[in-house]
Every structure is written in structure tokens, then in C-alpha cells.
Amino acid sequence: MRQGIHPEYGPVVFRDRAANYAFLTRSTLSAMASEKTVEWEDGNTYPVVDVEISDVSHPFYTGTARVLDTAGRVERFERRYGKKG
């Protein structure tokens, strides 16, 4: 790999504000998120990136996703505008 063209890759804490959940991983966002830091469980301080949603708070992963009644919607459309053919 060529030197000097790749972003810095380091540990970053991603914090889901909706679920009050955080996880430590590695990312290239550490340079952009350097103004905010958080002390992690291991005693070290890491840059933190606040996210609006993660797998902990997303309805698909939590099982609270709504299932749409697509058959009823199709029938209602056909009643309203008539069935072709």
C-alpha cells in the first residue's frame, strides 16, 4: 500500500443515544470525532461518535417492526380503480 493516502484507522466508541448503548470498535472516523471523547470500561479515553440508531434500537432487530397488510392494500386499490384484464 502507498504511504500517506489512507485515513487513520483506530479505536472509536459508537454510542446509540436512543437506546443508551455504546460499543467499542475500530474505524476511520476517529479523526473526525476527536472533539468528543468518552472514558471506556478499560479506563482508556476514546473518541466517541453519536449515532441515532443501531442494532439495539432498530425496529427490525428488536422485533417491533410493523408488518404491512399488502394483500388488503392491493384489494383496496383494485376496488377503487377497477381490476384490469
Collapsing DSSP to helix, strand or coil, 22 comes out as strand
Model's pTM, two decimal places? Answer: 0.61
The Cα 67–Cα 64 span in angstroms is: 9
C-alpha cell at 37: 471523547
Residues 29-78 have pLDDT tens digits of 865 656 888 899 999 999 988 887 776 776 665 566 566 666 677 788 88
Provide the pLDDT for residue 41.
92
Query: Listing from the earlier edge strand, what are the strands of the sheet with 45-51?
Result: 21-27, 10-16, 45-51, 37-39
- Residue 45 corresponds to which cell in the numbers above? 479515553
Strand partners, 47: 37
